[in-house]
Structures are given as structure tokens and as C-alpha cells.
């Protein structure tokens, strides 16, 4: 008998056992598939979050991010957010005066109350940001042309234009469009005194913060939030002129303003991810636990497989089958389970990603955060093979301690 014929026969024995033990086979395949699916989905979420963050920073068209500390939530306070930069407009003017700076813009974030009729209010995120045509793209209507004129010469005595750009969520929630009005303020009483006209609809900041937003000039948001005395902002973003060095400008600004934290796009993204270190660690732990669970399940099933078929292995040994041939049967059996589980897990990943994206949109507003790539899918198949190899090695080691011929007596 040729070696090829012998191997084909032994592989046939392993496949026959799989067909015969259908319940065990299905359980093992599903276990491996769940481990692969969990690994693929969690890794896809992690990579998708990083890629989405990078995309959002690229879309912002900024080079440097200046902050006085983290944007903290203050429960029970007016506006709920702590904007840590004091004297934001003065700092903005100083930055815009630099030869290497094209534009510097303060950002103010505050929770605000909003109402269409002045009686029933909901809370949304108010964004005080540059709202000129060059600063924010609108899908309907126009930008706020007159800009931050309320700040005036620094005393907030300029006129308030009372114009606002809303996100699509706000438009859908209140069934409002360009030309309609909304009452907006940090408290319900302040909101009743400030009626804003909707001049445009844009999802730029809604997609960035993942919540319903209204956008207005920074000084007007400061006015309705009670931040004019200290001229507070959460951050100031800087766009450099063509040819200016980001590294050199960053170093110069750090020397000029040591009290502030200055980051590039990449550094700002890393800082954002670092704030979510616990969540990232939890995701990595879940991936590891999913793989360990798959390994333990398959290992347990393969050990029971060896114990159950010890008489069959004894008969094969009595007929002259070598120990290596029995190992081939076990390894083939395990690899078949692993490959079937891997393919099933990869196949389930597609509807799983779709479902996760639907949940992500409903909760955060971010679209298509989770996406599959060929590398992730190949990694899932590799996980299934790794699980099956570990299970096969454990089963062959157990077989080495069992003497099949003793079970024929």
C-alpha cells in the first residue's frame, strides 16, 4: 500500500467519524465559529474606530489643537461642560497675527435647551464655532455670513445675529427646516429670550460628536451660556499656511503658551484613544477570552473524542496502524472542525458587521464605523486554525498516554 493511499484512508476515517458524531461535530464547529466571530467583530470595531477618528480629523482640515485640559462634564452646572481655555478670543487674535497661521478658531461646547414652541424643551449639544461659508459645509440653506460679530471689541456689545445651523437630527426631531425658528439657551428661561432662525442644515459636527447639535458663533453661545465674563472655550484649532512646518510651529507655540496643551492631528487622536484605554483594554480582553473559550471547548471535545474511540484506535493498532497514523486521524479531525468553524465564523461576520453598524448609528450617530478587511478575515481563519492545532496537540498528547491495545482485552 502506497503512503498516499494509506493517508487517504486515514483521512477518510477521520471524516467518517465527523459524519457519525454529528452532534459533537456541530457543537465543536459552532464553538470555533463563535470564537472567530467574536474576534473578527471586536477587532473590526477597534480598527474602525481608529480609522473613523483619523477620517474625522482629516476632514476637519486643521493642523494643531490647543486646549487647556480635557473637556469635562460638570453635572448640575449650567451648560454641563467645562471649557478650560480662558480669554479664548484674545488667544485667537494672537494666533491669527502669526505669519505661519492661516486661521485660528475657538470651539465652545455646551449642553443647551432647545424648543420650537418655548414650552417643551429638550437638551442637545451646542457648538460655538466658526460658521462662515468656508468653515462649515451645509446641505441646505447657507452658512452664518456675519460670523462672530457679537464679541465686537471684546465687550460682547455687538449685535447677536440669532442665526443657527442645525444637524439633521434636530431637523427631523422638530420637523423644522431653513427659515423656521427655535428657542435655544443654557436654561429654559434663557432659551425663551433667545429665538434663533435656522439658516442652514449641516451634519459636520453631528457626525463628529455623535449627537444632535446646533451650531452658532462662539460669542453667542458664550452669551446664552453665561461664559462671557471669562471668555471660555474648550479648544482652539489652528490651520497653518501652505509651506509652514507643523512641527516647528507646534514647538514655538509650546514655548509661547506653556499653560496650554498643543497637539497635532495624530497626537490629538492618540490622546482621544488614551482616554478610552479602559474600553480598549476591555475589548482586547474579550477577544482573548473568546479565543480561550474556543480552545477549551475544542480541547475538551477532542480529549473526549480520544477517550470514546480508544477501542477503535486499539483495533487499528492491532491491524498494524502506527501511532503516527492515529495522530493523523486526530489532527485531520481537529483541522476539519477548525476550518469549518472558521469559515462559518467569517460568513457570520458580514451580517454581524451590518448589525453592529446599525446599533452604532442608533447610539452614536457615526455611520459605517465597523468594516471588514481581507486581513481581518484572514486573521479569523488563522484563529480557527490556531484553535484546532492546540486542540489537536492536546488530543495527541493524551493519546500518547493511552495504550489502545489494553482496551481490546
What are the φ and ψ backbone dihedral angles of 226, each rounded to 5 degrees? 75, 35
DSSP code for 203:
-
Specify whether the CB–CB gap between 322 and 10 falls below 8 A.
Answer: no
How confident is the model over 371-390, as pLDDT tens digits? 778 888 888 888 888 888 88
Among residues 207, 210, 249, the alpha carbon closest in space to that of 100 is found at 249
Q: What is the SS3 assignment for 256?
A: helix
Residues near 199 by Cβ (< 8 Å), separated by ≥ 6?
A: 141, 142, 143, 144, 163, 164, 165, 178
Give per-residue pLDDT as tens, 105-153.
888 998 899 999 888 898 899 999 887 766 788 888 898 887 788 987 7
The two beta strands, 101-115 and 181-185, are antiparallel
Q: Which three cell numbers stand for residue 300?
A: 475538551
For 344-369, what is each residue's pLDDT tens digit? 888 888 888 888 778 776 655 566 66
Block residue for cell numbers 480669554: 87
CA distance 143 to 324: 76
Question: What are the residue ranges of helices labelled H in 143-215?
Answer: 168-174, 188-192, 204-209
* Contacts for 352 with CB less than 8 Å, ≥ 6 apart: 37, 40, 41
Domain ranges in the chain? 3-55+277-408, 69-259
Predicted structure pTM score: 0.61
pLDDT at 77: 41
Distance CA 99, CA 108 (A): 25
**198 - beta bridge partners?**
164
Range with the largest mean pLDDT of 79-88, 91-100, 284-293, 302-311: 91-100
How many Å apart are CA 304 and CA 167, to the nearest integer? 59
Amino acid at each position: 500500500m502506497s503512503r498516499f493511499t494509506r493517508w487517504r484512508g486515514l483521512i477518510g476515517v477521520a471524516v467518517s467519524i465527523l459524519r457519525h458524531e454529528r452532534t459533537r461535530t456541530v457543537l465543536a464547529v459552532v464553538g470555533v465559529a463563535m470564537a472567530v466571530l467574536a474576534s473578527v467583530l471586536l477587532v473590526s470595531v477597534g480598527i474602525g474606530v481608529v480609522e473613523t477618528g483619523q477620517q474625522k480629523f482629516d476632514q476637519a482640515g486643521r493642523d494643531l489643537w490647543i486646549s487647556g485640559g480635557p473637556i469635562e462634564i460638570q453635572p448640575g452646572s449650567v451648560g454641563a461642560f467645562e471649557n478650560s481655555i480662558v480669554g479664548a478670543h484674545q488667544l485667537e487674535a494672537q494666533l491669527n497675527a502669526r505669519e505661519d497661521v492661516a486661521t485660528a478658531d475657538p470651539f465652545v461646547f455646551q449642553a443647551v435647551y432647545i424648543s420650537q414652541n418655548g414650552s417643551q424643551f429638550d437638551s442637545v449639544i451646542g457648538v460655538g464655532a466658526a460658521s462662515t461659508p468656508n468653515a462649515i459645509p451645509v446641505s441646505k440653506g447657507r452658512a452664518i455670513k456675519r460670523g462672530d460679530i457679537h464679541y465686537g471689541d471684546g465687550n460682547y456689545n455687538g449685535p447677536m445675529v440669532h442665526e443657527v445651523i442645525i444637524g439633521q437630527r434636530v431637523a427631523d426631531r422638530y420637523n423644522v427646516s431653513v427659515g423656521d425658528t427655535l428657542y435655544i439657551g443654557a436654561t429654559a428661561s434663557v432659551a425663551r429670550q433667545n429665538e434663533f432662525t435656522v439658516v442652514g442644515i449641516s451634519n459636520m459636527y453631528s457626525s463628529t460628536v455623535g449627537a444632535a447639535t446646533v451650531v452658532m458663533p462662539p460669542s453667542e453661545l458664550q452669551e446664552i451660556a453665561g461664559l462671557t465674563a471669562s471668555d471660555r472655550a474648550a479648544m482652539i484649532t489652528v490651520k497653518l499656511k501652505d509651506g509652514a512646518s507643523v512641527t516647528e510651529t507646534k514647538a514655538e507655540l509650546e514655548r509661547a503658551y506653556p499653560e496650554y496643551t498643543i497637539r497635532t492631528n495624530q497626537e490629538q487622536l492618540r490622546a482621544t484613544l488614551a482616554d478610552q484605554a479602559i474600553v480598549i483594554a476591555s475589548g482586547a480582553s474579550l477577544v482573548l477570552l473568546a479565543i480561550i473559550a474556543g480552545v477549551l471547548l475544542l480541547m475538551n471535545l477532542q480529549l473526549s473524542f480520544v477517550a470514546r474511540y480508544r477501542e477503535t484506535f486499539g483495533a487499528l493498532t492491532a491491524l498494524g496502524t502506527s501511532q503516527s497514523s492515529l495522530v493523523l486521524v486526530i489532527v485531520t479531525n481537529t483541522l476539519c472542525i477548525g476550518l469549518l468553524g472558521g469559515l462559518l465564523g467569517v460568513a457570520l461576520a458580514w451580517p454581524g458587521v451590518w448589525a453592529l453598524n446599525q446599533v452604532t448609528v442608533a447610539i452614536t450617530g457615526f455611520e459605517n464605523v465597523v468594516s471588514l478587511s481581507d486581513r481581518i478575515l484572514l486573521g479569523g481563519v488563522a484563529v480557527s486554525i490556531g484553535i484546532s492545532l492546540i486542540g489537536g496537540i492536546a488530543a495527541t498528547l493524551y493519546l500518547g498516554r493511552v495504550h489502545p491495545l489494553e482496551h481490546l482485552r
